């Protein structure tokens, strides 16, 4: 359980310009409003808004946002109304709380809800980006306490996070938060794979952890000798979901991934980055083709750093990432690293960043809902598609799956007895390729004996293949064999 003291501590540590008395007042107000309420995991309710506010403080959000984080569930879940919030904490806080309440109750089920959900996120973002930060912080804590919910709900929340929230966090450049959201969702959506990867990683870490410690000291020594100032040298581990995606592209061979653990070197100026790189390359030989200058040529999402992989002592390889503090913070906090407070203490974006305009441009790019889906999912789910049952449940299948794959995914009997399919209310062939966003319905013939072996020629999923083989009439040879068996 967090305490108000924890929140105040972060505010002090991060040197935020926040009226701490007002924050305490908001905490008391929320605690009183939620009095007697208990979350599914048994904690008293106030812990949830408090953890939400703590995340917001860690991301350097402003006073109104931190207070709104404390109050974000008050109008929805307590006797106190939005008007009460406005009376006590003013119209700015009330507006943020209203924004988050409006985003609230939508559940991710089916294509209609999906696009509706996305649309709401964009509207909220365009009106005040801070609402999205509150939503992310809220979701982060909900994911951390997901164990208490039933598995269907866990899956819905995890999938919504992976498909909607994480891509938006990515677009906003808040990569640290994106990584957390993804890794927490990963655990609930692909539990077995997550567990296996974790075991493999733990083994890898214990081998590499000591090496990294040793290298940290050596690099620090080398840079000091050349009089290069160091802000920080630390180990950084790749987020699990992004590692998982990368592994799928590399035949699941962990040893082929070079950046599972990297040494992150943070220095004051851009010139120091190149100096440090020179020092390191002078001592250790770089692996060809593994050097990337993302300072001169930032990644499309704006990421900047120098990356190099070197053979260090005893022939081991390690990735080094060299960047300035500003680059580091931009990567951690995203858009939140680009704002500052003016004399009046209200939040302003750095010059040259017309951020609302950027967003509305982005919004226009993807106005059409189909395009929404594609553009947002493109990075995350390259070889999966998402189709919907008539009830709006989401089914996730490999690319080029057919209505038969879908049918077997729903139920063996539906697969075995399938005769035709309707995709988006139109008759479709059983071997047609489904696309993300399709609504699929299977027509069955009750009296049908079993599946058609010809389906094996086009099905995509192993489940469908196995079930067709198991369920299909045996054919001539099978029949002869079984007759013989009877002799
Ligand atoms: Mn909440």
Map out the domains of the chain as residue ranges.
4-148, 191-334, 383-486
Residue 278 host element (H or E): helix 270-283
Which of 14, 76, 207, 368 is labelled catalytic? 76
**Could you confirm whether 77 is annotated as catalytic?**
yes
Give the pLDDT of residue 236.
79
What would be the CATH architecture of the domain defined by 191-334? 2-Layer Sandwich (3.30)
- Spell out the residues 6+ positions from residue 251 whose beta carbon is closer than 8 angstroms to its own: none
- Using an 8 Å Cβ cutoff, are 106 and 120 in contact? yes
52, 136, 182, 211, 213 from 167: Cα distances, Å: 20, 12, 10, 34, 33
Residue 112, sorted as left (phi over 0), alpha (psi -120 to 50) or beta, turns out to be: alpha
73 Cα–ligand 1 center, Å: 5
101 Cα–ligand 1 center, Å: 9
Q: Which two tokens stand for residue 104?
A: 């609230």
Closest CA to 155 of 117, 193, 189, 104: 189
- Using an 8 Å Cβ cutoff, are 323 and 304 in contact? yes
Find the angle CA(177)-CA(123)-CA(356) to the nearest 5 degrees.
75
251 Cα–ligand 1 center, Å: 39
468 Cα–ligand 1 center, Å: 45
Find the angle CA(223)-CA(226)-CA(231) to the nearest 5 degrees.
40
Entry field: residues in the chain: 487
185 Cα–ligand 1 center, Å: 17
298 Cα–ligand 1 center, Å: 36
Positive or negative, the CA dihedral 377, 382, 387, 393 is: negative
138 Cα–ligand 1 center, Å: 5
Domain 4-148 adopts which CATH fold?
Hypothetical protein af1432 (1.10.3210)
Looking at domain 383-486, its CATH superfamily turns out to be: Beta-grasp domain (3.10.20.30)
51 Cα–ligand 1 center, Å: 10
Exposed e or buried b per residue across 214-246, where buried means at least 16 C-beta atoms within 10 angstroms of its C-beta? ebbebbeebbeeeebeeeebebebbbbbbbbbe
Could you give the CA distance from residue 285 to residue 368 in angstroms, rounded to a whole number?
50
Give the pLDDT of residue 479.
44
Could you give the CA distance from residue 329 to residue 340 in angstroms, rounded to a whole number?
13
30 Cα–ligand 1 center, Å: 12
Could you give the CA distance from residue 263 to residue 283 in angstroms, rounded to a whole number?
16
- Strands 394-398, 306-311: pairing is unpaired
75 Cα–ligand 1 center, Å: 11
**Could you confirm whether 84 is annotated as catalytic?**
no
- Spell out the residues 6+ positions from residue 12 whose beta carbon is closer than 8 angstroms to its own: none
Q: What is the pLDDT along the chain (487 residues), one digit of tens a residue?
A: 899 999 999 999 988 889 999 999 999 999 999 999 999 888 999 999 999 999 999 988 889 999 999 999 999 989 999 999 999 999 999 999 998 887 766 565 655 566 666 656 655 655 577 888 899 999 999 999 999 899 888 998 998 888 888 877 876 777 888 999 999 999 999 999 999 999 988 887 777 777 888 889 999 999 999 999 999 998 877 889 989 988 888 877 877 777 777 899 999 999 999 999 999 999 998 888 888 999 988 776 677 899 999 988 777 788 999 999 988 988 877 666 665 555 554 555 555 444 444 554 554 444 444 444 444 433 333 466 767 777 656 677 888 899 999 999 999 999 999 999 999 889 999 999 998 667 899 999 988 888 999 999 999 988 899 899 888 655 444 444 444 433 3
Give the pLDDT of residue 99.
85
- Strands 317-324, 261-267: pairing is parallel
- Using an 8 Å Cβ cutoff, are 41 and 145 in contact? yes
71 Cα–ligand 1 center, Å: 9
Could you give the CA distance from residue 321 to residue 236 in angstroms, rounded to a whole number?
9
Give the pLDDT of residue 108.
59
Give the pLDDT of residue 369.
42
Which of 77, 98, 155, 293 is labelled catalytic? 77
3-state secondary structure of 24: helix
Give the pLDDT of residue 121.
63
């Amino acid at each position: 359980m967090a305490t108000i003291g924890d929140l105040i501590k972060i505010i002090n540590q991060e040197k935020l310009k926040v009226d701490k008395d007002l924050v305490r007042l908001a905490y008391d107000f929320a605690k009183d409003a939620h009095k007697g309420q208990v979350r599914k995991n048994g904690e008293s309710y106030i812990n949830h808004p408090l953890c939400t506010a703590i995340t917001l403080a860690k991301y350097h959000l402003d006073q109104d946002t931190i207070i709104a984080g404390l109050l974000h569930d008050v109008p929805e879940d307590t006797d106190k109304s939005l008007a009460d919030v406005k009376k006590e904490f003013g119209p700015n806080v009330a507006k943020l709380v209203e924004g988050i309440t409006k985003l609230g109750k939508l559940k991710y089920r089916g294509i209609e809800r999906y696009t509706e959900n996305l649309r709401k996120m964009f509207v909220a973002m365009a009106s005040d980006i801070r609402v999205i930060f509150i939503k992310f912080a809220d979701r982060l804590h909900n994911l951390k306490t997901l164990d208490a919910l039933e598995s269907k709900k866990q899956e819905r929340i995890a999938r919504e996070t992976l498909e909607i929230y994480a891509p938006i966090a990515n677009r906003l450049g808040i990569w640290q938060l994106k990584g957390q959201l993804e890794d927490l969702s990963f655990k609930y959506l692909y539990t077995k794979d997550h567990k296996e990867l974790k075991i493999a990683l733990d083994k890898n870490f214990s081998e590499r952890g000591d090496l990294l410690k040793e290298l940290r000291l050596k690099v620090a020594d080398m840079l000091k000798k050349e009089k290069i100032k160091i802000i920080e040298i630390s180990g950084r581990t790749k987020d699990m979901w992004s590692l998982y995606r990368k592994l799928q592209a590399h035949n699941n061979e962990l040893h082929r991934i070079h950046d599972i653990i990297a040494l992150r070197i943070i220095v004051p100026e851009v010139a120091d980055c190149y100096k440090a790189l020179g020092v390191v390359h002078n001592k250790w030989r770089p692996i060809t083709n593994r050097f990337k200058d993302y300072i001169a040529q930032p990644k499309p999402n704006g990421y900047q750093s120098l990356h190099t992989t070197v053979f260090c002592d005893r022939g081991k390889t390690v990735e080094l990432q060299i960047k300035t503090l500003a680059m580091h913070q931009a990567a951690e906090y995203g858009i939140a690293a680009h704002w500052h407070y003016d004399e009046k203490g209200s939040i302003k974006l750095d010059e040259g960043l017309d951020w609302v305009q950027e967003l509305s441009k982005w919004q226009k790019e993807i106005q059409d809902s189909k395009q929404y889906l594609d553009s947002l999912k493109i990075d995350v789910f390259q070889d999966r598609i998402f189709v919907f049952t008539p009830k709006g449940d989401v089914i996730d299948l490999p690319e080029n799956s057919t209505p038969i794959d879908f049918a077997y995914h729903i139920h063996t009997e539906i697969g075995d007895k399938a005769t035709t399919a309707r995709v988006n209310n139109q008759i479709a062939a059983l071997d047609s390729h489904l696309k993300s966003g399709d609504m699929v319905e299977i027509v069955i013939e009750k009296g049908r004996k079993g599946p058609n072996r010809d389906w094996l020629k086009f099905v995509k999923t192993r489940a469908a293949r196995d079930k067709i083989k198991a369920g299909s009439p045996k054919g001539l040879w099978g029949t002869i064999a079984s007759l013989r068996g009877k002799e």
